[in-house]
Structure 1
């Protein structure tokens, strides 16, 4: 509409079609289609392209029943259609007169002021052109009075021009005078409005400049804030990393201390084992040399008394002799067992079992320990045994912290001069490819490398975790 009033007719038609492309997406959009196409027809009328305008009106009136759903709009469009027919000069006067009469009657019955003004102006132009001045003056006066009631200045000006063309020269002069006064008044108002808008535009430019300045200041403030945040973040990372390094050094020192304690434990255990073996040997010798000798003497004495012929004495002696033989056999058996080192090689598994009992009790876990009897733990160096001990200890701690498990299985197997340690749980598991390696896993990996072993971690979500370590003997 603005483009139309500015005389930019092609642009106005382009915007109308753009509006129609959106209205096509709305259900029951016939009213909007009606408005847009009728406005496009009026633009063609202003361009004096009457055939194009008539084509649009013909298409609209193919659906007359839809147009009649909005009677006042129907009346306006019918009046415009009649006026375009008149301007094209290809239609009969009676046909156009009939159309104006119908349009006027509908608007008058509805008492719709704006449709009455539009139809009256078009009808006045039509009757003036066919030289029916009475009818032309009637419609011009009707439009003029309605425009006065509603302060519709453009209709007032157009009706004054019509009246000045229709009336006698004396009256026409007064209408033209009124037209000039109203036109000047409107121009003054327009100038005032333009000045006001010019001032607003100037003040708006100042506001825009100030806004740009504020935007620049905000941008600098944003950069400074980002820089400050980045600096604080960097400081936080540095402090956190230093703290982690301190904790790591502390854990390393603690592990070294624990290893020293464990070595002392193993050394002490060796001394205890030596003392136990010596004591067993002493007891064995004592039993063999002392008790057995005495029992042997008693048996000989009783055997010499076997010369008695009394049946009761003979039966008693034989019974005692049999008892002594049994005692002798039992003592020999005990002596033999004491003299053999039956706990040889089992000390390390006892230490592992003690660790498991202590930690699983604290962590509320069930454990299963399996040991391959073919493994000669005494021949394996202490370094390997210490690292295995620490790996099990670290794994139990990880299971308790992260796995939410209820049971853990530990097994030692020997195959082709390789000791295989397996630690598995029934916990929640994790994605081995995506998981971040914490200090626990790093420590385990470091220990495996020190004993030249191979580490394999198998885990999936909700399916538990298994750690496999293979170390050459």
Structure 2
């Protein structure tokens, strides 16, 4: 379809211009005839190639013109579909040269992209990156955003394969942001799938899963399912992320969903072998050995028949791990050796590293030798990777220099625009300064208000300390009273009762009853003293708790949300420093105010407790509108103050929020030490 479209496009252009100054009518008609037959599916690929070669032969004998460049572009496109890569490379170079001589930026950019395609096919990734990078520059310069996004996608995939994950993330994100505005669903799927792989490599697993699920949604909605089995590929990729997360249950779930795709084994055997190998490996990690040996060997058989060495090495390593786990050391050594030998023959250093690592585990006798080889290959790979990244950086630098030169040329025509922009910027700056000063004054007032509140609270704490000192004196008095009063009376009663032991007359019995009454009086006195001490201790503990309750009650009057606060009974508030109490009070106050202003919440939950390490935990959660925590604009002064107060107390803060779900702040404070216990 693409070839037919390009052909019709060519015919429409030709119809408008009718004849070209550089080619006579007969030549144009012959080229038209040959290109038409090249795009005709009734001919075999061999016949199509002959017609394409004849069209090229005629084109090479005419002078450089727009017609020639467009026709050569079609010839190159045909060579691509006919899998004639050397001819594809040769003619794309020729197109680049004639486009440069004609200063035709459009075809310069296209020819460079074709060169990038050729070197990517030949796995010369540095050269591929170079031409994609140059092509990107020209397409962006002429504002051809469709081709610009395609080159960014290809460039990002090359960067991914070169392990330049941050660069790949930038390129692929740019490509996706353009492509998602189009109906090019196949490339949107490719961009999302590649972004998922980049995120997984960067260990941003949540983001990776989102990208893969978005890719799956594109496949489903746009009905992209082909013999490549995009749906199964998405499920397999999601399963791999959960495998990295060690969530083996979910990994197995997605691998099974991938296997359930119809005709997967027949139409995409390599993908099928990967899925069953991943499924077996997930079950191995879960210690579920049922059928995994069968799955591994089925995967190995398929990969061996397709002669994919890298995939075979992975299965050998997995088999070695499996037999090592079931204590079959001989087979474990055998398959680790197979992995090493296959990696050597195939000259795949990355897989050699994985194979050597496994061999050092299962073959203890030769572990040191394998470890030495592992370190040697790893070091050499790091050097190669570093050199590769340096080359990418140099290429990017060269492109940046071209951009700078282009900017210098463009600036000559921007004097008036710059003046206008400068004027607008100056006015905007004055307005910004005015608004900023207003905000600074408002902030100063808030800070003054906060300082005043803190001073009041310090006075409260100071008053609490004075109360504690008074209670200590009262306790000493009660202790003295117990010792000198109650104990003295008990001692006297004991002596008197002891003296009555030898008497059994009516008077002695009467005296015993009197002494028993006296004991009951002493018992009642002791009970009252005990209750008084308990009340004092409870008041001491609940003093700060009461302050917190009052704060919540005050906020409940102005806050539309329902507030629920839970304070664990086992918190030793007397051990919590006054500085932490002050900041904890202010954090709670600030959080409640933020929720009241912005969250639109219906329910607020506050919880104070301690963990197993005796750290003080405080969290506040609401069911409001939430916000994007990655958006710096959403982080206002209130949130900044909460973070700073937490840090002042050597605490740890975790802010979680999701748009439409709500927010949660979790803070950990040290109780009786300067740092949090881990």
Q: TM-score category by the smaller chain?
A: 0.3 to 0.5
Question: What is the TM-score normalised by the length of structure 1?
Answer: 0.44
